[in-house]
Every structure is written in structure tokens, then in C-alpha cells.
Amino acid sequence: MTTALIRLSDIEKVYPMEAETVTALKGVNLRIDPGEFTAIMGSSGSGKSTLMHIAGLLDNLSRGRYELEGRDVSSLTQNQMAQIRNQRIGFIFQSFNLLPRCSAFENVALPMLYRRPPASHLREKVTSCLAMVGMTDRADHLPRQLSGGQQQRVAIARALVNDPALILADEPTGNLDTTTGTEIIRLLGSLNDKGMTLILVTHDPEVGRTARRRIILRDGRIEREQRA
């Protein structure tokens, strides 16, 4: 049996608030293997983003256990989380989150700078990732000089640049028109065909149908699961 890429055991997430605490995840168990394409679905407020933030080491869990690539990451320091996140996880967001004053090339290069690679290696890697998303001829453009779909392509290249173990995408088509959204989902699907593990958060059933596995959340719990 292969090692699970992600293994979440009885995960709880509590947000302490002044008026009352909010329990956003109430005992989630989930195993994801390398190469899977999983959609996390459910209505607004069901806990999708919270689950993605925990899986992506963007936030601590309150209770339970999280193993990433066989390593217990349940109680790491912020620094340890940042390092694993940078090296093992690529992120794609609804609002692209590109740095406005940096070119497409510089935005893609950013996650690599952490490890101070030789300039030639950096240029080679960034160029190949931009090519993978069809953005070779836009490397010098600033985000505002790109369409939404092009910005999301740059963000996908950025997510790929450190050869992550998985890519997490939170509503990646949320700010795009239907046609452009379909192109982005097709691009993500082609990355999965090449072996990349994808977890895609969406409330859009059309988008969710492209995943081979769908996890449906409801009120902080996994309500059901579907496989294509």
C-alpha cells in the first residue's frame, strides 16, 4: 500500500470569537492518495475553505491529527509550516493573488527565492512553468496587463514552480466567465493527467463534475462522497 499523501483523522477547527466560538470542522476524516483529483464541495459556510487552509498548512487545527506524506504535521511551528508549505504545496486562489508590481515572470519565480537557486536554474524553471500554462509570450506583463484567465494561468505556473506534492485550488474559476473557467479547469485536469495531485474547492457542480472524487461537506462534516 502506498503512503497516503494526506491523512486527516478526526479534525476539528474551532474559531474562538467574542460572542461565541464557531466550530467550522467537526470531526473530519479524509485520506487522499498521490495522483487523485478531489473536489471539496458544499454550500457556503460548510467549511470548505477552512478544510483547505488546514490541508494547506495555512492554519492550525484545533483537535485531531494531520499526516502529510507520512509525516505528522498536526502541531508544527509557524516557521515549520511555512517551509513545508513552500516546498510541498502549490496554491491557487479565486482572486489570483499575484503581486501587482511584479511581472508574470517574477510572480512565478517568487516561491523559488526561498531556497536561493542559481539564476540559470531559476530562469529555466520559471520559463518551463510559464510554457506549461501557455503564457510564454506574456512573461514581462504586469498582472493588470493580463486578463483574468491569463492571471490565473500565471498563478498556476507559480503553484507548479517548486514541484509540489499537491496543488490546492480554492474556487479557481470564481472570478472568471464560464468559457475561461472551463479552460482553467481543463488546464488543471491536464496537470492531473500528468500525475499532479489536485484538491479543488468549489460550490459549482459543473466544476465539481470534472473531478474523479467529490467530498461533500455540510455544516463542518463530510456528508457524503461520490466517485466518478
**Interface with Mg ion (CB under 5 A):** 48-49
The CA-based diameter of the chain, rounded to the nearest angstrom, is: 54
**Site residues (CB under 6 A) for ligand ADP, limited to 9-38:** 15, 17, 22, 24
Give the pairing type, strands 6-15 and 22-32.
antiparallel
- Of the two residues 26 and 141, which places its CB atom closer to ligand ADP in the complex? 26
Report DSSP letters for 46-95, one per residue: SSHHHHHHHHTTSS--SEEEEEETTEE-TT--HHHHHHHHHHHEEEEETT
Q: How far is the CB of 53 from ligand ADP (least distance, A)?
A: 8
Q: How far is the CB of 100 from Mg ion (least distance, A)?
A: 23
When binding is defined by CB under 6 A, the residue of 8, 37, 41, 42 that contacts ligand ADP is 42
Q: Say if CB 185 and CB 13 are below 8 A apart.
A: no
Q: Which three cell numbers stand for residue 202?
A: 468549489
Q: Say if CB 135 and CB 98 are below 8 A apart.
A: no
- Of the two residues 46 and 197, which places its CB atom closer to ligand ADP in the complex? 46
Q: Say if CB 133 and CB 156 are below 8 A apart.
A: yes
Q: What whole-number distance in Å separates Cα of residue 56 and Cα of residue 15? A: 17
Would you count residue 45 as binding ligand ADP (CB under 6 A)? Answer: yes
Q: How far is the CB of 147 from ligand ADP (least distance, A)?
A: 26
Would you count residue 172 as binding ligand ADP (CB under 6 A)? Answer: no
Choose the one of ligand ADP, Mg ion, none that binds residue 45, judging by a C-beta under 5 to 8 angstroms depending on kind: ligand ADP
Binding piece for ligand ADP, criterion CB under 6 A, among 48-56, 85-93, 104-112, 172-180: 48-56
User: What CA–CA distances, in Å, run from 150 to 22, 138, 193, 199?
Assistant: 37, 9, 21, 21
DSSP 137: G
Would you count residue 169 as binding ligand ADP (CB under 6 A)? Answer: no
- Of the two residues 141 and 213, which places its CB atom closer to ligand ADP in the complex? 213
Residues 6+ apart with CB under 8 A from 170: 48, 49, 52, 91, 92, 93, 94, 201
- Of the two residues 42 and 172, which places its CB atom closer to ligand ADP in the complex? 42
Would you count residue 205 as binding ligand ADP (CB under 6 A)? Answer: no
Q: How far is the CB of 65 from ligand ADP (least distance, A)?
A: 20
Q: What whole-number distance in Å separates Cα of residue 77 and Cα of residue 62? A: 14
Q: How far is the CB of 216 from ligand ADP (least distance, A)?
A: 11
Q: How far is the CB of 94 from Mg ion (least distance, A)?
A: 8
Residues that bind ligand ADP (CB under 6 A): 15, 17, 22, 24, 42, 44-50
